[in-house]
Every structure is written in structure tokens, then in C-alpha cells.
Structure 1
Amino acid sequence: MLRLRLLTWDVKDTLLRLRQPVGESYAAEARAHGLQLRPEALSHSFREAYGAQSRRFPNYGRGQGLSSQQWWGDVVKQTFRLSGVHEDGVLTLMAENLYRDFCSAHNWEVLPGAAETLRQCCQRGFRMGVVSNFDNRLENVLSQCNLRHHFEFVLTSEDAGFAKPDGRIFKKALRLGGVPPEQAAHVGDDYTRDYRAAQAVGMHSFLLRTAGQGEEPEVPPEHVLPTLSHLLALIEKG
């Protein structure tokens, strides 16, 4: 059995997922302002705007003096501009509304098995924390989705100043948890940012891989979670 004291968790697509595609949420907001826009086109515009903003201002512009609200506001406005909306007042209003909406359970849902797995891990006495490439709304999102109470700390990339796979965010989590890396394991769904990055600082690592995802050859089967419900059995076997 692995001698683990601390479990750290990714959030998006590990514990929570969006209730609907981004384009659907943006189209609903546009309709509230009398604009008819196709969700698929908005999803495409969003990917383009988000990608460009991420390259220009990594980690929500944390190192360049932006707040995450400014960062996201620019992404939202650019998404709508790429879809043909150019009225500044409407763009500002939609950006404010969507920033607020994505801070609540209105747009997020808990993945199957997540709440039960977290509860069981707490019962077994594991200390728990979050390590997520998220902005500072995450505390509120987790509270709204009734998961926050499971965690001793919530470490976002905006707060830390480093984004996964940068090892410094994991080292900060280990300091917050007060354990050496060999007594900690990280659970996430991204091979590079979660699985490999945690291993690189000496932590154990589990990769949530749902059916249909690509196979990365270097992941031993005892590190792969078909669902979160498999976690405790793998820890106890390890």
C-alpha cells in the first residue's frame, strides 16, 4: 500500500465539467441582448480568442499586471467580435454577465463519482488540496458545487503565479500540505500538466482517462483511473 498523506486534485474535467459547451452559454447570453448567434460558430471563435490571449498573456496575465476578470473580459469580447458583434456597450455587459455566470454551479456540474470519492478519501484520513490552472473564482465555484469543504487548500495558477506543468505550483502545494513529495499523489486528467508534472517533482500520480481518450504509452495501468471511483483501490494496491 502506498504511504500517502496528501492527495492533490485537478478540477476541470477531473472533479467538475461544464454543463454545456461554451458556445451554448455564449449564445444564450447573446439571445438575452436580442442577438442570434450560432453556438458552433461561437465555440470556434472562443477557441481562437482564448488561444491568442493565452499565448499573449499566459496564466491570466498574472505576470503582466492584468486581473483575471480583465483577461476573461477581453476573451469574451474578442469571441463575440469574431462572430460579428461590435457594439462596445453590449460587449462589456455580456463579458460581465458571463464572468459572473462561470463563477457558479449554473455552468458547472460535479463529475460522476467525484463527491463520493472525495468523501471516502477524507474518511480514510487523507489530507486534500486542489492544484488547478484556474483563476481566483475557483474557491467560489467549488463552494457552489458543494465540494470546497473537502480541501485544506485551493491553489490556483493565478494565485501561485505559476501554471501547471511548472513544478513550482506543485512544490507550493507540498509546502501548504506540509508533506514531502513521496507522501503525496496528484489526480488529474491531463497527461503533461497533471500526470507527468507531478511525477517530475517526486510525487505519485494518477491519470483519469475516460473511455475514448488517446493512449499515452508511458502510463502504467496501475496509475490509470477509468473513473474516480477506482482511486482508493489503486492506492491500497500500490
Structure 2
Amino acid sequence: MKLRLVTWDVKDTLLRMRLPVGQQYHSVAKKRGLHVDPASLEQSFRQAYRAHSRLFPNYGLTQGMTSQQWWSDVVGQTFRLSGVRDEGSIRLVTERLYGDFSTSGNWEVIPGAREALQGCRDLGLRLAVVSNFDRRLEEVLRQCNLHGHFEFVLTSERAGIAKPDPGIFRKALSLARVAACEAAHVGDDYVNDYRAARDVGMESYLLRPEGNPRLEEHRVPNEHLIRSPDELIQRLQNATE
């Protein structure tokens, strides 16, 4: 059946952070008089993020949390794990960082992403987003001048379901009113993007930039691997004929 819809992951597929988390947190904290080692913040963030994701998956929505509260807890714990004890300063830095990550200031478009989106539209394909992200994503995409490419942006917060749960892909297919066999998904995560989309019957492509191989690549046929977003266009031309 002819391909009609392409859904996209966002983080590390279309957008990436301008600086590592530790450096970004360090920069904001320094302006508030807090001097914390960026490497320590990087390590603490990963620890806090993993723990919170395990205890309160998908921003704790089913446990009565908001995504802003969830992120505030993660960022606050990041600084505590790095040795900061001033709760007033932690609160101010947390609020600033939440706002900063709502804008394009901390994000940049991955090379080839604009070309890929325009190329898909030139092929007559409809586009949408399926991303494990919070409510700030639409504004970030607007500020990065990508939002206009998409019919809808389905975040895990909006859907109430996070990848790799097949429900978020089924919700996207329902919103687009297309069958799974008429859709493809593009992302950088083997489990959340490549495998999860295929499990609901969609086509999928795994983004793996040159020099960033991972062990699961051997499970992915070469024709499903792309090294940059714009490499997708040639792969899709056959699927739209």
C-alpha cells in the first residue's frame, strides 16, 4: 500500500541540545552565584533522570504530577546530588532552566532535518510528530521554524502514553486517519522508535549518525538505517511510487 504519513521523533532526530546538560545547567547556576562542576551536574542529572523516570514514568501523569513539577524535581535533585544545599537558589535556577528549555535558545536543528521535512512534503507525504516530550515541544518547534511542517504534534504528555507503548502510535494513526501500513516512523532509538513502530505494523527508519554506532544496529537492515535525516528522502521515494 502507498505510504501517506511519516511521523517523527524530535530529540536527537530533528533537534538536539546546543550544549551538554551539565554545561547548560552550570551556565545558568553560575549567573545565580552557584559554582558547580559541569561534569558533576552531567552525572547527577543522569542519575536523577533515571530514578525519576523509573518511579514516575511519563512525567508522573498517572500519579497526579504535572510535567513542570516532574522536571522541577529532576533539576532540583540534580543540584542536590552535586552538593548544592541552598534550596532558594535551587528553586530559582530550576525555574530559569524550565523556561530556557521552552525556547529555541537551548536547541538547534540537526543538519539535514529541514531538507528531510521539505523533501517529504515534496513527495506528497503528510507529517506529524510522535515524541516522548512534554507540553513545551510545540513552542520549541515553532521557535525553531519546524512546526509548520506538521499536521499535529503528539507528545507523550498529550497522549498520556509514552513510547514504546504501542498506544501512542495507534493514537497518531487514528488522528491522521491512516492505516499502519500507510505510515512510517523515523527516530534515533531502537526500542522506542524503530521497534515500537514496527510492532504496530508501521514502516520505520533508524537514525544513526556516522561515528555513532550501537550494538542493536546489527538487527536493522541497511535499507532501514539512515545516517542523517535527509538521507530518508531517497529511501522513501520507492515507498511512495
**Does the alignment reach a TM-score above 0.5?**
yes
* Cα distance between partner residues in 2 of 1:111 and 1:102: 17
Unaligned runs of 5+ in 2: none
Deviates more, 1:195-204 or 1:114-123: 114-123
CA distance in 1, matches of 2:233, 2:101: 31
Paired residue type of 2:213:
Q
Per the alignment, in what secondary structure is the counterpart of residue 130 of structure 1?
strand
Aligned to 2:100: 101
1:17-56 equivalences under 5 Å are 17-56=16-55
Q: Which residue of 2 aligns with 1:206?
A: 205
Which residue number in structure 2 is paired with residue 190 of structure 1? 189
Q: What per-residue deviation string (whole Å, max 9, x for no partner) do you get for residues 166-189 of structure 1? A: 000000000111100000000001
Letter in 2 for 1:108: W
Inter-CA distance 95–172: structure 2 relative to 1 (3 Å threshold):
same
Aligned-pair CA distance for 1:123: 2.1
> Matched residues in 2 for 1:61 and 1:128: separation?
28
* Residue of structure 2 in register with 1:136 after alignment: 135
Distance 2:231 2:81 in 1: 43
Give 3-state SS (helix, strand or coil) of 2:16's partner.
Answer: strand
Give secondary structure in 1 for the equivalent of 2:219: coil
Match of 1:176?
175
Indicate yes or no: 2:166 matched with 1:167: yes
CA distance in 1 between partners of 2:65 and 2:21 (Å): 23
> Which residue does the alignment assign to 1:65?
64
Cα 1:215/1:49, change in 2 over 3 Å: closer
Instruction: Please give the secondary structure, in 2, of the residue aligned with 1:207.
Output: strand
Deviation at 1:227, TM superposition (A): 1.3
Instruction: Give the total of aligned pairs.
Output: 237
| Deviation, structure 1 residue 237 | 3.3
Q: Percent identity?
A: 57
Q: Distance in 1 between matches of 2:127 and 2:32?
A: 42
- Identify the residue that residue 88 of structure 1 maps to in structure 2: 87
**Shift of the alpha carbon at 1:46?**
0.5
Q: Normalising by structure 1, what TM-score?
A: 0.97
The offset of 1:215, in angstroms, is: 4.2
Structure 1 residue 94 displacement after superposition:
0.7
Confirm whether residue 221 of structure 1 aligns to residue 226 of structure 2.
Answer: no
Partner of 2:152: 153
TM-score normalised by L of structure 2: 0.96
Q: Output one character per residue of 1:20-54: Cα deviation in whole Å (capped at 9) or x when no partner.
A: 00000110111111111110010001001111111
Aligned-residue offset at 1:141: 0.7
What is the CA-CA distance between 1:235 and the residue it aligns to? 1.4
Aligned mates of 1:165, 1:20 — CA distance in 2: 27
